[in-house]
Amino acid sequence: MADKKLRAGVIGARLGAAHAYAYANSSEYELVAVCDLFPKIIDEMWERAKLPEGSVHTYTDYKEMFEKENLDVVSVTVPDHLHADPVCDAADAGIKGIFSEKPLTINLEDADRIIDAVKRNGTKMSVDHTRSFVPVYREARESVRNGDLGGLTRIVAHMGGHRAMLFRNGTHIVDLIGYFAESKPKWVLAVHEQGFEDYGIVYKGEGGKDPALDPGSTLIIEYENGVRAILNSAKMTPAFTEIDVMGPKGRIRAVDAGGNRWLSDKVEGALTLDPTFDHAGYPEFFGDALIPAVQEMAQMVLNDAASSSPPERGRDTLEIMLGALLSQDGGNIKVNLPLPRN
């Protein structure tokens, strides 16, 4: 198996174009098939995926693709409210690895169904919270784990621009906070931006294309290990993403383009810039950002490697966002996690 390429397929050809590109440009894989309900979207995919037209088999029914293609790995890139069925069906069909778009889904019932299906079948799974695979964030977390900051106490994150939406893009940053906190969330408190005060407790994003349907929100999150995080998410601000992780003896500030680390020789001491922390950021082309993710998936399938973005953390991320809706609706109250199960 070590010298045999894994057979990869993609469900959802619009966003899936980047996934198709990543598989086609990773030596571990042979991209063999793409599925979409609408053939026109497949026709539009070839150029965006930088693939020769007709170079892989195409389907309008993913179950037929499962039956005919003997897939090892599949990406699920359909709209977020539709993730559960293809993920569960792929696991039940014996596909070894699943790479799902974010958020995991939009309700906890579907999230639990997904997690049950992959556990029951022994399926490897990652969620595309892409920064989990970008070098600057990976090295920042490794620095925290190594004790360079003397532990971790606070996380402050910012997300701006018209797509500073709690679910659509906020899921990336909420998950990135959890990526560093490495603990279960304990409670969340939220204040939506003006105009979304009466948004309610149900996500209305309809797939996340319209910023007017998804609030920006300021969140305070506390984790069971004592780490506390603040996320400031606001439209009508510059379009950028930033995370600042702090401990008793240091600080790392990371943005998509790179990062800096400051260290002190004593607890709560003055900081000095560390010039040795210099790591690559987000690639210019989105498909290139997914290559490390699908390469990691190959190691998960072939060598039982761990996921940098497991579905269990994806569920925690979803629960924080749903808790944020409840917090705002309740008058900006602190909402304890986990949320009650039906």
Q: CB neighbours (10 Å) of residue 188?
A: 26
238-258 residues labelled b (16+ CB within 10 A) or e (exposed): eeebbbbbbbebbbbbbbbee
- Sign of the C-alpha dihedral computed for residues 16, 22, 28 and 31 taken in this order: positive
Mean of the per-residue pLDDT values of the chain: 95
Distance CA 313, CA 111 (A): 11
pLDDT in tens, 89-117: 999 999 999 999 999 999 999 999 999 99
Residue ranges of the chain whose pLDDT lies below 70? 1-2, 342
- Domains of the chain are 6-131+288-309 (3.40.50.720), 134-283+317-336 (3.30.360.10)
Report pLDDT for 284. Answer: 76
Report pLDDT for 250. Answer: 98
Report pLDDT for 281. Answer: 77
Q: What count of residues does the chain have?
A: 342
Q: What are phi and psi of 130, to 5 degrees?
A: -60, -30
Q: Are 171 and 207 in contact (CB under 8 A)?
A: no
Q: Are 166 and 232 in contact (CB under 8 A)?
A: no
pLDDT in tens, 215-255: 999 999 999 999 999 999 999 999 999 999 999 999 999 99
Report pLDDT for 1. Answer: 42
Query: Is residue 139 within a helix (H) or strand (E), and if so which, with residue range?
Result: helix 135-145
Distance CA 319, CA 328 (A): 14
